């Protein structure tokens, strides 16, 4: 491991965060971005605005149990996130490989992704409200990326329903990029909070 990687690993162990995954002694530049977000105090302002709303989601034992996955035995959000990601990824696969032949199925998958994104987001906000400050900073960007993806997938569905399939598919592809950013940061928060 390089001296920089050792220093970064030691810093995250000291801060209580998870050490970086070490594949062939290389630290991913994307991981550096996530760590930079953890240290970015400019994200405290948006986090401070969102925190009371997130904490209201878990006001009371029933809400906390339902949204944070107490009944499941672990966090609900990572499980829920598989739904919109799976639906949207499947829609993209059909769009790219099958085109018009699978238009109805792809459109239905985009709609299902939109429908499942809302409860997924609620479960994420419920967890985020009690997360450490560094995780909340990353969470603000994670939420922004996912909100961008949701907005673009919604626009994609509107275009598809208007018969503008090409623009709908293109919007879905761009949305997939935003979803990837959100997913990476979500994975980072899960590992960093472990």
Q: pLDDT tens-digit profile of 128-153?
A: 988 899 999 999 999 999 999 999 99
pTM tops 0.85: no
Find out whether 138 and 188 touch, Cβ atoms under 8 Å. Answer: yes
CB-side neighbour CA atoms (13 Å) of 184: 16
pLDDT at 19: 53
Ordered by start, the domain boundaries in the chain are 3-28, 42-192
* Residues in CB range of 153: below 8 A, 6 or more apart: 88, 110, 113, 114, 117, 171, 172, 175
pLDDT at 93: 97
Q: 5: pLDDT confidence band, cut at 50, 70 and 90?
A: very low
Query: Using alpha carbons only, what angle is made at residue 37 by residues 47 and 181, rounded to the nearest 5 degrees?
Result: 95
CA 185 – CA 10 distance, rounded (Å): 21
């Amino acid at each position: 491991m390089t001296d920089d990687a050792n220093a970064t690993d030691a810093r995250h162990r000291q801060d209580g965060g998870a050490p970086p995954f070490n594949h062939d002694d290389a630290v991913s530049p994307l991981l550096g971005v996530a760590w930079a977000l953890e240290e970015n105090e400019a994200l405290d302002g948006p986090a401070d605005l969102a925190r009371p709303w997130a904490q209201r989601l878990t006001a009371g034992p029933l809400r906390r149990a339902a949204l944070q996955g107490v009944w499941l035995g672990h966090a609900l959000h990572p499980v829920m996130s598989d739904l919109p990601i799976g639906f949207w990824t499947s829609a993209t696969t059909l769009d790219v490989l099958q085109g018009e032949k699978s238009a109805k199925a792809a459109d239905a998958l985009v709609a299902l992704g939109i429908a499942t994104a809302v409860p997924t987001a609620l479960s994420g906000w419920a967890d985020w409200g009690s997360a450490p400050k560094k995780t909340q900073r990353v969470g603000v960007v994670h939420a922004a990326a996912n909100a961008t993806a949701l907005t673009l997938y919604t626009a994609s569905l509107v275009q598809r329903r208007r018969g503008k399939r090409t623009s709908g598919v293109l919007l879905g592809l761009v949305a997939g990029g935003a979803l990837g950013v959100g997913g990476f940061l979500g994975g980072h928060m899960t590992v960093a909070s472990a």
